[in-house]
Structure 1
């Protein structure tokens, strides 16, 4: 593994506060609805997904997609690879698609198209992080934790070559 220096960008306390706020907002959005399915995008969303679902505090089914557009790089390849599909149908259900980061917008848009083809009642999106200056195509995200710059970040589910996902905060990576 390459040696890297990390600089905290978003603290654990900031993340937890924002996740609670998002949970309340999402709970309000889904108020009165049944058949809600939260779809996490593996592996990066796992920390945000778990904390967010606890903050929403509603009956929600859990599903996952496996996707990659990074490989071992710090930039999106531009090609989305589906590595794991949903185990159950989302037809006529209210889908909450949860991402760790929307960088190019390609993965989120790809998954919205894939899910849309399966005829859900609604698709709502949430991402911990959004890099508006990095978007390669227009991508609307309903619930965003934090907007950040173009720096490569790790922690709270985000990795570099498989490492740093377990950090409780988000940090920028400075390569040496």
Structure 2
């Protein structure tokens, strides 16, 4: 697969910065305070949703001041595209969480298909409760499951195609130091 790096660079050059690095870091600090207050005595198993949740998890976890078990899972609908398809499990959790609290850390709650499937999987596999932390909660009326809400939200976001802090544009710019919206999307 050939990638047009000039196009990828142009997307960043023309993108609108919705939240700069300072604003995102402050939001992560706020999420950490809430999680510390609510889960410190619950002995949670924490799952980072790959790849999008990697940066948010990496920034958030050192701010959680209690013992926890950490693992990851990888479920996707995007496959480096800008539109989601069927859910595909690349890696299911390998740590037991039966009768345990689970904290799922992901980059974004958009329509909720992927997160909903992950939550359902954890509940059916025996988690006593499932908590969701997302860096971004996108504001729109297309939620697949209106009942699915994140317990911890860093920032709200307008309904645009965004990237940065773990979210990608065609597999690129997960490393962007802020939350950016693609011009025209």
TM-score bracket, normalised by the shorter chain, equals: over 0.9
Shift, 1:137, TM fit: 2.4
| Residues 158-173 of structure 1 mapped to structure 2, 5 A cutoff | 158-173=167-182
Partners of 2:136 and 2:84 lie apart in 1 by 15
Give how far 1:118 is off.
Answer: 1.3
Using the size of structure 1 for normalisation, the TM-score is 0.92
The normalised TM-score by structure 2 is: 0.88
Matched, 1:29 2:38: yes
Aligned length: 174
CA RMSD of aligned residues (A): 1.6
CA distance in 2, matches of 1:168, 1:94: 31
* 1:62 counterpart = 2:63: no
Q: Are 1:144 and 2:153 counterparts? A: yes
Deviation of 1:43 after TM superposition, in Å, equals 0.2
List gaps (5 residues or longer) in structure 2: none
**CA displacement 1:14-72 (0-9 Å, x = unmatched):** 111111111010111113222x1111110011010111111222211111111111123
Alpha-carbon distance between aligned partners in 2 of 1:89 and 1:161, rounded to the nearest angstrom: 33
Q: Give 1:92's match in structure 2, choosing from 99, 116, 121.
A: 99
User: How do 1:122-133 and structure 2 match up within 5 A?
Assistant: 122-133=129-140
Structure 1, unaligned runs of 5 or more? none
The range that moved more, 55-64 or 149-158, is: 55-64
State yes or no: 1:41 paired with 2:60: no
Matched, 1:8 2:17: yes
Instruction: Identify the match of residue 116 of structure 1 among 116, 123, 128.
Output: 123
SS in 2 for 1:174: coil
Matched residue SS, 1:47: helix
